[in-house]
């Protein structure tokens, strides 16, 4: 970026809200994606108002230069990483909770608000913001909207989209628009809000969101169940829902994941079990007591052993701690393909889990699976030493076959992490070329110069 462009950006942002030194550029080239190559941005902007964001995008179209929106940089598919220079637009400084409306059960927030911070604030008022991505202590609402983030509670409460009533966003050419309405219902025209949510920062930058809140559930109970057959365990998932229990979380860990957790942080999980399920129910005290009893009966009928139940926050936390340790425990042993994120209809879970284990066996790679089984979303980790080229190629092939399997089971190659750069090459396989072309046309219409978050979602053409 030349000095006149830097001056223009400084005029928009104020001197202190633009950084272009090497130190800052080195710190805004990465996110939480496991990837070897880091491409540095040319500068980093820290806007504080929607108007500044709009001015930056108008300038970007005039000059032109690329703009890469970034929340907390906790994404796992490279969504916030520059791939060809440009300006990283960080929403870190737009971090105010503007209103919490207890009457209408709504919150109005800026994009840089950390998800957990919002949750803690609304809980003080007896309210509840349900979406709970595992990175909620770090990730921001803007990033959650851009990625349409999920989390364990999605099985009952749905993903981020379900909880966004309205949003303000700057479109790629710099128009500031408001989408949606402050009501639960609204069918006025195309649902453009849904188009922008989950567009991974390629169609707009969120500058404000009106979020739907719920009454805070009064009671929670958690059950840990061990299974000695993978098939029994995965069948039990659909059975719990069929029996009329809608859990607020239904989590799965296979034997390899359990053992990784126990090696990392002994939590009393049964190492010899083939898999475990963690079932949480929430609601009124009477409701959760009834649901927990029903869920336990169903789990036992499907072969669960050693059931443990936690009826208060402290003992429940102990059970959850083990589940939450799965990610870090696996990251520690440095797998090369960390945390793939697939999703299948829940009645296909047995085929998916057994199939993935077979693929791992075929390529002689270790594999650990955990995830949000209640909504069919699994995180698959092929564990392999990073220094072995042959193994690396094998893991690539295993991932490839896994995606074929998932698609054949009518599932999806990403449940909550997004496509970003790391899954772009697999996207056409799932959605087909006509739909991919439709998406390209939408992108082309809104962003003719391809300014906003280039290199994401769409596969790079062969030979590029």
CA-nearest of 458, 363, 444, 453 to 402 is 363
The nearer residue to other proteins, 92 or 254, going by C-beta atoms, is 92
256-315: which residues touch other proteins (CB under 8 A)? none
Q: How many CB atoms lie within 10 A of CB 276?
A: 27
Residue from 55, 61, 135, 453 in contact with other proteins (CB under 8 A):
135
Does position 22 bind other proteins by CB under 8 A?
A: yes
Residue from 8, 31, 132, 291 in contact with other proteins (CB under 8 A):
31
The nearer residue to other proteins, 21 or 463, going by C-beta atoms, is 21
137-176: which residues touch other proteins (CB under 8 A)? 137-139
| Minimum separation from the CB atom of position 416 to other proteins (A) | 16
CA-nearest of 455, 389, 446 to 419 is 455
From start to end of 295-361, where are the E strands?
Answer: 305-310, 337-343
Q: How far is CA 335 from CA 212, 327, 399, 415, in A?
A: 38, 11, 13, 20
CA-nearest of 258, 260, 263 to 233 is 258
**What number of helices (H) and strands (E) belong to the chain?**
16, 18
| 8-state DSSP, 133 | -
CA-nearest of 204, 195, 200 to 174 is 204
- Contact segment (CB under 8 A) with other proteins among 18-26, 169-177, 222-230, 415-423 equals 18-26
Does position 4 bind other proteins by CB under 8 A?
A: no
330-369: which residues touch other proteins (CB under 8 A)? 331-332, 338
| Minimum separation from the CB atom of position 414 to other proteins (A) | 18
| Minimum separation from the CB atom of position 245 to other proteins (A) | 32
The nearer residue to other proteins, 253 or 409, going by C-beta atoms, is 253
The nearer residue to other proteins, 28 or 227, going by C-beta atoms, is 28
Residue from 131, 150, 198, 327 in contact with other proteins (CB under 8 A):
327
The H or E element that residue 206 is part of is strand 205-212
| Minimum separation from the CB atom of position 211 to other proteins (A) | 20
- Contact segment (CB under 8 A) with other proteins among 121-129, 247-255, 321-329, 366-374 equals 321-329
The nearer residue to other proteins, 274 or 340, going by C-beta atoms, is 340
Residue from 3, 4, 23, 390 in contact with other proteins (CB under 8 A):
23
Q: How far is CA 288 from CA 281, 312, 432, in A?
A: 6, 12, 43
The H or E element that residue 205 is part of is strand 205-212
Dihedral of the CA atoms 193, 214, 69, 178 (nearest 10)?
40
Q: Given the structure tokens 């791992």, which residue do they identify?
A: 360
The nearer residue to other proteins, 6 or 27, going by C-beta atoms, is 27
61-120: which residues touch other proteins (CB under 8 A)? 72-74, 92-93, 95, 114, 116
253 SS3 class: strand
- Count of residues that bind other proteins according to CB under 8 A: 33
Reading the block at residue 157, the tokens are 């409460």
- Distance between CA atoms of residues 141 and 114, nearest Å: 6
Residue from 1, 5, 6, 27 in contact with other proteins (CB under 8 A):
27
- Distance between CA atoms of residues 33 and 29, nearest Å: 11
Does position 438 bind other proteins by CB under 8 A?
A: no
The backbone torsions φ and ψ at residue 451, rounded to the nearest 5 degrees and listed phi first, read -75, -40
| Minimum separation from the CB atom of position 136 to other proteins (A) | 9
| Minimum separation from the CB atom of position 331 to other proteins (A) | 5
| Minimum separation from the CB atom of position 112 to other proteins (A) | 8
The nearer residue to other proteins, 78 or 152, going by C-beta atoms, is 78
Does position 178 bind other proteins by CB under 8 A?
A: no
Rounded to a whole number, what is the distance in angstroms from the first to the last CA of the chain?
24
The nearer residue to other proteins, 136 or 348, going by C-beta atoms, is 136
Does position 181 bind other proteins by CB under 8 A?
A: no
Residues 6 or more apart whose CB falls under 8 angstroms from that of 389 comprise none
Residues 6 or more apart whose CB falls under 8 angstroms from that of 400 comprise 426
Dihedral of the CA atoms 413, 414, 415, 420 (nearest 10)?
-170
The nearer residue to other proteins, 150 or 247, going by C-beta atoms, is 150
CA-nearest of 448, 362, 361, 377 to 411 is 377
Does position 392 bind other proteins by CB under 8 A?
A: no
Q: How many CB atoms lie within 10 A of CB 443?
A: 19
Does position 19 bind other proteins by CB under 8 A?
A: yes
The nearer residue to other proteins, 147 or 291, going by C-beta atoms, is 147
Residue from 28, 129, 206, 227 in contact with other proteins (CB under 8 A):
28
The contact set with other proteins (CB under 8 A) reads: 19, 21-24, 26-28, 30-34, 46, 72-74, 92-93, 95, 114, 116, 135, 137-139, 325, 327-329, 331-332, 338
């Amino acid at each position: 970026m030349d000095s006149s462009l830097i001056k223009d950006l400084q005029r928009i942002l104020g001197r202190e809200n633009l950084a272009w030194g090497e130190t800052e550029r080195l710190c805004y080239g990465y996110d939480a994606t496991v990837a070897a190559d880091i491409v540095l941005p040319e500068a980093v902007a820290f806007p504080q108002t929607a108007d500044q964001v709009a001015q930056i995008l108008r300038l970007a179209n005039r000059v032109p230069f690329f703009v890469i929106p970034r929340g907390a940089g906790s994404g796992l598919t490279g969504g916030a990483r520059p791939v060809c220079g440009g300006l990283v637009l960080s929403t870190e400084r737009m971090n105010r909770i503007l209103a919490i409306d207890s009457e209408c059960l709504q919150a109005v927030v800026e994009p840089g608000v950390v998800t957990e911070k919002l949750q803690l604030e609304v809980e003080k008022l007896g309210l509840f913001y349900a979406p709970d991505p595992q990175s909620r202590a770090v990730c921001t609402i803007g990033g959650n909207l851009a990625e349409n983030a999920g989390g364990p509670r999605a099985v009952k409460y749905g993903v981020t989209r379900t909880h966004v009533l309205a949003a303000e966003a700057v479109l790629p050419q710099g128009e500031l628009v408001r989408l949606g309405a402050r009501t639960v219902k609204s069918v006025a025209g195309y649902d453009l809000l849904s188009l922008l949510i989950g567009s991974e920062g390629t169609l707009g930058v969120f500058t404000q969101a009106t979020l739907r809140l719920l009454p805070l559930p009064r009671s929670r109970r958690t059950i840990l169940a061990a299974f000695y057959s993978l098939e029994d365990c995965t069948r039990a998932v659909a059975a719990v829902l069929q029996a009329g229990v809608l859990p607020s979380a239904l989590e799965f860990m296979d034997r390899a994941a359990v053992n990784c957790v126990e090696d990392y942080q002994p939590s009393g999980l049964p190492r010899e079990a083939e898999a475990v399920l963690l079932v949480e129910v929430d609601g009124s005290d009477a409701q959760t007591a009834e649901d927990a009893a029903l869920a336990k009966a169903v789990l036992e009928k499907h072969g669960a052993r050693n059931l443990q139940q936690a009826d208060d926050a402290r003992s429940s936390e102990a059970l959850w701690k083990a589940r939450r340790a799965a990610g870090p425990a696996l990251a520690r042993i440095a797998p090369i393909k960390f945390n793939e994120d697939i999703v299948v209809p829940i009645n296909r879970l047995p085929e998916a889990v057994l199939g993935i284990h077979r693929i791992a066996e075929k390529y002689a790679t270790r594999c650990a699976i955990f995830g949000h089984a209640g909504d069919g979303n699994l995180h698959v980790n092929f564990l392999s030493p990073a220094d072995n080229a042959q193994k690396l190629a094998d893991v690539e092939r295993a991932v490839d076959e896994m995606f074929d399997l998932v698609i054949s089971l009518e599932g999806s190659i990403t449940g909550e992490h997004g496509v970003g750069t790391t899954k772009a090459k697999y996207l056409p396989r799932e959605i087909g070329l006509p739909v991919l072309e439709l998406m390209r046309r939408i992108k082309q219409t809104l962003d003719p110069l391809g300014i906003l978050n280039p290199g994401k979602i769409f596969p790079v053409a062969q030979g590029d």
